[in-house]
Amino acid sequence: MRNLSINLGYNITSKWYAGFNIDAIGVSFGSSRQGIYYSNATTGTVANAKPTSLNILLVSDNDRGTINSEFFTRLCL
């Protein structure tokens, strides 16, 4: 997975920093695999699955692929 991200941050005070980052667009690589599930001593298989090749930030639940984000604060001693 290789993604281009958007990073924003702000120095709240001389010691406190807050930031946010989110993936904007990228690509993922991987082979196709068949899924197996286990439930109450029953085993079954499901259709083949593979990673979404294009990762793109859209609106809300419309994102495609592996889009990650985080909000953080930092205390500088």
What distance, in Å, lies between the first and last C-alpha atoms of the chain? 34
pLDDT for res 59 = 82
Predicted TM-score of the model (pTM): 0.69
Average pLDDT along the chain: 91
pLDDT for res 40 = 84
Domain boundaries defined on the chain: 2-75
Non-local (6+) Cβ contacts of 55 within 8 A are: 1, 3, 23, 25, 26, 27, 28, 64, 65, 66, 67
pLDDT tens digits for range 16-52: 999 999 999 999 998 998 888 888 878 888 888 888 8
Report the DSSP pairing between strands 33-39 and 16-27: unpaired
Q: In which band, very low, low, confident or very high, does the pLDDT at 11 lie, cut at 50, 70 and 90?
A: very high
For the CA atoms of 48, 53, 56, 60, the dihedral, rounded to the nearest 10 degrees, stands at 0
**61-77 mean pLDDT:** 92
